[in-house]
């Protein structure tokens, strides 16, 4: 039907590529790219990362699902990213719609257009990308006109656990882990499309799969005060949509032949996912709740995958990734073996974020053998009291002991991550941050690193759905700015670098994170006004958002700053991570009374995930 | 021609297969130079990304590169002067230090290496020539002093070759031509005239005139390159348009770098691989 679309796009592209920054983002052709026969595949899917190429190519979900979907003969999966504004302008001038990097087919020609929802601030990019693809924004507009003129617009990823602000734009969401669910959904589409079923019929069929949320089958009624009065479900659709989980994570598909970009990606290395889930139970952390239970991958599988990945990609670095890699039971063994095998190939092994208490000197020395870049620690809060509130089970002693070990092992720059605006925070807690930075400097001096530098990073707390703090309100922008100023004034020191996030950005993030369906019209408004790339300071326009709120009658503090009631219906109550709401509330109450909850590897906290959703999997380290 | 590793071990004598265990740790370091094309999609690979591209291709091909010492070891790979993004290269150069074993004949090793490496390089990058560098040979960027570009563009309306040459002569007669360039958002002004050595009009065919009355024009630019900077042919074309009145349409110009040379004091142009072969034949030291 659209056979020549791709050739037309490709030939037009050459005229504009020399006029944009980093044209390598827009031409594909990378090492290990998969080209499949367009005419010989039943279902054509485009995996879309709604941010720029270098960011999107760093995403593990993309790597996994791209390889996985393409491993099926009947499917094809291509990639698309948000064009940088300079490219967008040129594409519009030349009349080039958004296309996929493999075949240059416009997104409109695909059967399924799948967005990954990694952060709320990418929502405007999703809408903007649909516009650039000439696909109607609202699901209802795509369905009413015909049966299959437009692709299914679907989405998954962490933000799908409260997708309400973008629900009217998406035909269905995939809740949970996609390795089994995504192909299953594509198979339903394939079978039913072949039978000549309409889109609505296919969507009804899809609700029979676990973790599929079709927003058009659900509706909300609201109270006078704006809170949700009632949640209505169309007959046949499930009342509670429960996430899907990979039960056997060791056997889960792992992409070894990943695409190697020529333009450097943000994370341009082999990423070995050592485990999924985290047992720590930090109360602000959404990932720690939604990826439960903990499932480790076997050390043998990891070492094998690491070696094969290096052979297939030629990468010079392997990173052991997960929410808390140093908690992985066999981390020492995997590190040792991988490094022994990789050193002669000029390949280094690295760990991303590290926890203070489990960061042993042994690991420090291991990693340091190959590379000595800066180290990052995340105490998150400045005092023990506040760390107890958020259940970040680290002590100042941990911090000082491990930073000392790091300084002695040769590091000279250390980054400390904190959050400001946490529930129950006082100015004493901010003083604690200042105090800690000074103590770390003091330690560096003692350890003989006189030129050491400490970077203090303070991000603003954003309450997230499905966490114990989901009922909390965010500090007002004014208060956050005051707190930033407070720290800035007191951290004036040549050896300390203080960085903080824009309060306006965090505010919009909170509005969207805790938002409901009524925000959809606001999103449409701001996208039409030109908002995009909100996560990039240079493109974030708070004033446009504020104008949009006035125009569409949205009171932002209702979402961002208000404390939600215990018995209120939350906009995401119909989506289940497996963690009981009562558990979250219990954790919230414990937080306010400064009580901690131990790591659930020691004692089960009875959150409700195990064993109903999946069983935890751990490996034993034999030294 | 072999250059030895840290242990300074002697070369094996012909016919004698050395004991593997003796030589296992004593790999030989071989300095190589290769010529390659950078065409099609590969022309969008930025110069700064090329080291990574070659390093990864070597690793996939299981060819051992020699690494620098220190905390952040990196492979000893170096390129000639950068090719602007989007410009095709017909004969670009890379120097790589590779590690080999003493019992493998040099010629065989090189051939093998080129074949293995070629199979792991992105489409558009084709290895077309290679040679062994002598020990004391200087880096590519230190010796290459001339780049030859060809541009193909459209002229608005027809002009005789003589007329075009006149435009060029008028431009070349100037002592100073200020070129403006944007680097990291900053405006940089410099005299671009000294960089332009020769301009040749290759072909200009009225027969190719399209319906709008445009003519294809192909020009060759010999541009000085080296440590004191260089100029892109598109900048020269722009300047020719603005200062000398050459009616060229800049938006559709296709540029290719045809070659890189070491211009001798007598004006002879030597190719960076040719020069190695010549030296090897004459047995001279560099």
In this structure, the number of other CB atoms found within 10 A of the CB of residue B75 comes to 22
CA A505 to chain centre: 16
Q: Which of A15, A19, A20, A24 to mutate to test the interface with B (most CBs of B within 10 A)?
A: A24
- State the smallest CA–CA distance between residue A312 and chain B in angstroms: 6
Hey, are the CB atoms on B46 and A263 less than 8 Å from each other? Answer: yes
CATH, domain B20-142, list 3.30.70.580, 3.40.50.20, 3.40.640.10, 3.40.50.2300: 3.30.70.580
Q: How far is CA A353 from CA A214, A374, B203, in A?
A: 35, 11, 60
Poorest-pLDDT segment among A40-54, A416-430, A473-487, B264-278: B264-278
For residue B207, is pLDDT > 50? Answer: no
User: Which pair of tokens denotes residue A350?
Assistant: 């690295």
Backbone angles phi, psi at A276, to 5 degrees: -120, 140
Which residue among A23, A28, A260 places its CB closest to the CB of B56? A260
**pLDDT one-digit tens code per residue, A81-121:** 999 999 999 999 999 999 999 999 999 999 999 999 999 99
Helices (H) and strands (E) in chain B, counts: 7, 11
B251 touches A at CB < 8 Å = yes
Strand, helix or coil at A609?
Answer: coil
CA angle (B241, B246, B251) in 5-degree steps = 60
Backbone angles phi, psi at A420, to 5 degrees: -115, 155
Which residue among B44, B49, B120 places its CB closest to the CB of A264? B49
Mean pLDDT, chain A, integer: 92
**pLDDT one-digit tens code per residue, B155-179:** 877 667 788 888 889 999 998 999 8
pLDDT interval class at B202 (50, 70, 90) = confident
| Mean pLDDT computed over A182-202 | 94
pLDDT score, position A165: 98
pLDDT interval class at B283 (50, 70, 90) = low
Residues, chain B, total?
286
Beta bridge partners of A230: A221
pLDDT score, position B22: 34
Poorest-pLDDT segment among A235-244, A400-409, B53-62, B203-212: B203-212
pLDDT score, position B269: 93
> Which residues neighbour B135 within 8 Å (Cβ) at sequence distance 6 or greater?
B3, B31
pLDDT score, position B26: 66
B52 touches A at CB < 8 Å = yes
Cβ contacts of B85 on chain A, cutoff 8 Å: 18, 23-24
User: Which pair of tokens denotes residue A597?
Assistant: 């909850």
- Interface residues of chain A, partner chain B, Cβ below 8 Å: 15, 17-18, 22-24, 27-31, 260, 262-264, 268, 310-316, 345-347, 371-372
For residue A612, is pLDDT > 50? Answer: yes
The residue that leads in pLDDT, A30 or B164, is A30
Poorest-pLDDT segment among A169-183, A189-203, A262-276, A392-406: A392-406
User: Which pair of tokens denotes residue A372?
Assistant: 């000595």
Q: Which residue is associated with the tokens 């050595």?
A: B197
Class of the domain covering B145-263: alpha beta
pLDDT score, position B179: 87
For residue A371, is pLDDT > 90? Answer: no
pLDDT score, position B165: 87
Cβ contacts of A313 on chain B, cutoff 8 Å: 56, 60
Q: Is the peptide bond before A293 cis (omega within 30 degrees of 0)?
A: yes
CA A355 to chain centre: 19
Poorest-pLDDT segment among A301-315, A609-623, B11-25: B11-25
Q: Of A575-584, B161-170, B199-208, which has the strongest mean pLDDT?
A: A575-584
pLDDT score, position A524: 98
In chain B, which residue's Cα lies nearest the Cα of A27? B41
pLDDT score, position B3: 36
For residue A79, is pLDDT > 90? Answer: yes
Hey, are the CB atoms on B59 and A22 less than 8 Å from each other? Answer: no
pLDDT score, position A351: 80
Poorest-pLDDT segment among A491-495, A511-515, B211-215: B211-215
Which residue among B58, B60, B123 places its CB closest to the CB of A311? B60
Hey, are the CB atoms on A24 and B252 less than 8 Å from each other? Answer: no
In chain B, which residue's Cα lies nearest the Cα of A317? B56
Interatomic CA distance for residues B94 and B114, integer angstroms: 12
Strand, helix or coil at B101?
Answer: coil
Q: What's the 3-state SS for A403-447?
A: HHHHHHHCCCEEEEEEEECCCCCCHHHHHHHHHHHHHHHHHHHHC
- Shared fold status for B20-142 and B145-263: yes
In chain A, which residue's Cα lies nearest the Cα of B55? A314
Domain boundaries, given as residue ranges, for chain B: 20-142, 145-263
Q: What is the pTM (predicted TM-score) of this model?
A: 0.91
For residue B24, is pLDDT > 50? Answer: no
> Which residues neighbour A234 within 8 Å (Cβ) at sequence distance 6 or greater?
A217, A218
**pLDDT one-digit tens code per residue, A217-236:** 999 999 999 999 999 999 99
ipTM, interface predicted TM-score of the complex: 0.89
Q: Which of B52, B120, B183, B232 to mutate to test the interface with A (most CBs of A within 10 A)?
A: B52
Burial tier of B183 (Cβ tally within 10 Å: 0-12, 13-18, 19+): exposed
Q: Whose CA is closest to A501, among A532, A471, A524, A474? A: A474
The residue that leads in pLDDT, A59 or A358, is A59
For residue A210, is pLDDT > 90? Answer: yes
For residue B97, is pLDDT > 80? Answer: yes
| Mean pLDDT computed over B16-42 | 71
Q: How far is CA B206 from CA A216, A520, B155, B156, B161, in A?
A: 63, 59, 10, 12, 10
pLDDT score, position A356: 54
For residue A368, is pLDDT > 70? Answer: no
> Which residues neighbour B279 within 8 Å (Cβ) at sequence distance 6 or greater?
B134, B285, B286
For residue B136, is pLDDT > 90? Answer: no
| Mean pLDDT computed over A465-482 | 98
């Amino acid at each position: 039907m659209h056979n020549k679309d791709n050739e037309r796009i490709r030939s037009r592209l050459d005229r504009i590529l020399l006029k944009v920054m980093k044209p390598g983002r827009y031409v594909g052709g990378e090492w290990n790219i998969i080209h499949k026969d367009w005419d010989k595949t039943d279902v054509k899917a485009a995996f879309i990362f709604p941010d720029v190429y270098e960011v999107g190519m760093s995403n593990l979900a993309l790597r996994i699902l791209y390889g996985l979907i393409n491993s099926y003969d009947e499917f094809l999966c291509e990639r698309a990213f948000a064009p940088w504004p300079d490219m967008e302008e040129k594409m519009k001038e030349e009349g080039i719609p958004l296309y996929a990097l493999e075949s240059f087919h416009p997104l409109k020609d695909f059967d399924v257009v799948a967005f990954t929802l990694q952060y709320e601030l990418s929502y405007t990019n999703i809408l903007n990308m649909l516009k650039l693809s000439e696909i109607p924004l609202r699901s209802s507009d795509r369905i009413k006109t015909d049966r299959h003129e437009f692709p299914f617009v679907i989405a998954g990823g962490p933000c799908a656990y409260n997708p309400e602000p973008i629900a009217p734009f998406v035909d269905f969401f995939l809740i949970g882990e996609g390795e089994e669910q995504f192909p299953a959904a594509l198979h339903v589409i394939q079978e039913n499309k072949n039978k000549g079923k309409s889109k609505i019929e296919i969507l009804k069929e899809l609700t029979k799969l676990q973790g599929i949320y079709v927003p058009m089958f659900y509706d909300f009624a609201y109270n006078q005060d704006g809170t949700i009065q009632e949640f209505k479900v169309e007959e046949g659709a499930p009342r509670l949509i429960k996430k899907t989980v990979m039960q056997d994570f060791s056997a889960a598909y792992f992409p070894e032949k990943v695409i190697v970009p020529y333009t450097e990606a943000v994370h341009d290395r082999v990423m070995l996912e050592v485990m999924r889930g985290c047992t720590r139970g930090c109360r602000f952390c959404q990932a720690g709740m939604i990826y439960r239970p903990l499932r480790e991958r076997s050390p043998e599988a990891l070492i094998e995958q690491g070696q094969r990945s290096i052979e297939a990609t030629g990468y010079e670095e392997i990173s052991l990734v997960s929410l808390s890699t140093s908690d992985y039971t066999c981390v020492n063994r995997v590190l040792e073996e991988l490094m022994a095998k990789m050193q002669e190939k000029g390949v280094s092994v690295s760990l991303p974020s590290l926890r203070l208490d489990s960061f042993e000197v042994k690991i420090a020395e291991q990693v340091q053998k190959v590379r000595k870049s800066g180290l990052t620690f995340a105490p998150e809060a400045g005092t023990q009291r506040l760390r107890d509130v958020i259940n970040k089970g680290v002590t100042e002693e941990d911090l000082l002991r491990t930073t000392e070990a790091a300084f002695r092992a040769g590091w000279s720059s250390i980054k400390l991550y904190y959050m400001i605006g946490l529930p129950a925070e006082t100015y004493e807690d901010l003083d604690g941050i200042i105090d800690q930075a000074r103590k770390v400097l003091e330690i560096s001096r003692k350890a003989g690193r006189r030129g050491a530098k400490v970077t203090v990073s303070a991000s603003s707390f954003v309450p997230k759905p499905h966490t114990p703090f989901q009922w909390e309100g965010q500090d007002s922008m004014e208060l956050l700015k005051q707190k930033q100023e407070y720290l800035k004034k007191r951290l004036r020191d040549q050896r300390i670098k203080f960085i903080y996030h824009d309060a306006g950005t965090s505010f919009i993030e909170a509005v969207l994170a805790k938002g409901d369906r009524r925000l959809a019209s606001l999103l449409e408004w701001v996208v039409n006004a030109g908002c995009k790339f909100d996560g990039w300071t240079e493109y974030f326009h708070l004033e446009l958002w504020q104008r949009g709120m006035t125009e569409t009658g949205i009171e932002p503090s209702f979402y961002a700053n208000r404390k939600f009631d215990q018995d209120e219906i939350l906009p995401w109550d119909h989506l289940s991570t497996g963690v009981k709401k009562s558990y979250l509330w219990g954790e919230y109450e414990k937080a306010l009374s400064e009580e901690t909850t131990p790591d659930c590897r020691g004692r089960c906290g009875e959150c409700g995930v195990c064993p109903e959703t999946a069983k935890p999997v751990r490996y034993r380290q034999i030294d | 021609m072999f250059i030895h590793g840290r242990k300074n071990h002697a070369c094996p004598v012909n016919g004698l297969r050395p004991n593997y265990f003796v030589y296992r740790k004593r790999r030989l370091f071989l300095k190589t130079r290769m010529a390659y094309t950078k065409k099609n999609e590969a022309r969008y690979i930025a110069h700064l990304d090329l080291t990574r591209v070659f390093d990864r291709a070597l690793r996939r091909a299981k060819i051992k590169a020699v690494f620098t010492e220190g905390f952040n070891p990196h492979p000893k790979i170096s390129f000639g002067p950068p090719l602007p993004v989007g410009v095709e290269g017909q004969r670009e150069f890379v120097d790589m230090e590779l590690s080999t074993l003493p019992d493998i004949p040099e010629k065989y090793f090189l051939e093998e290496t080129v074949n293995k490496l070629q199979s792991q390089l992105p489409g558009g990058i084709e290895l077309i020539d290679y040679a062994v560098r002598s020990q004391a040979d200087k880096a590519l960027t230190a010796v290459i002093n001339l780049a030859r570009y060809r541009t193909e563009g459209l002229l608005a309306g027809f002009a005789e070759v003589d007329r075009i040459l006149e435009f060029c002569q008028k431009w070349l007669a100037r002592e100073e031509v200020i070129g403006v360039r944007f680097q990291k958002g900053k405006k940089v002004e410099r005299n671009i005239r000294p960089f332009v050595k020769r301009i040749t009009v290759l072909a200009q065919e009225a027969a190719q005139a399209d319906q709008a009355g445009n003519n294809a024009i192909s020009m060759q630019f010999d541009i000085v390159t080296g440590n004191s900077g260089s100029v892109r042919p598109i900048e020269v074309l722009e300047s020719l348009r603005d200062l000398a009145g050459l009616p060229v349409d800049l938006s559709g110009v296709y540029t290719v770098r045809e070659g890189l040379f070491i211009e001798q004091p007598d004006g002879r142009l030597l190719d960076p691989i040719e020069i190695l072969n010549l030296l090897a034949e004459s047995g001279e030291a560099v």
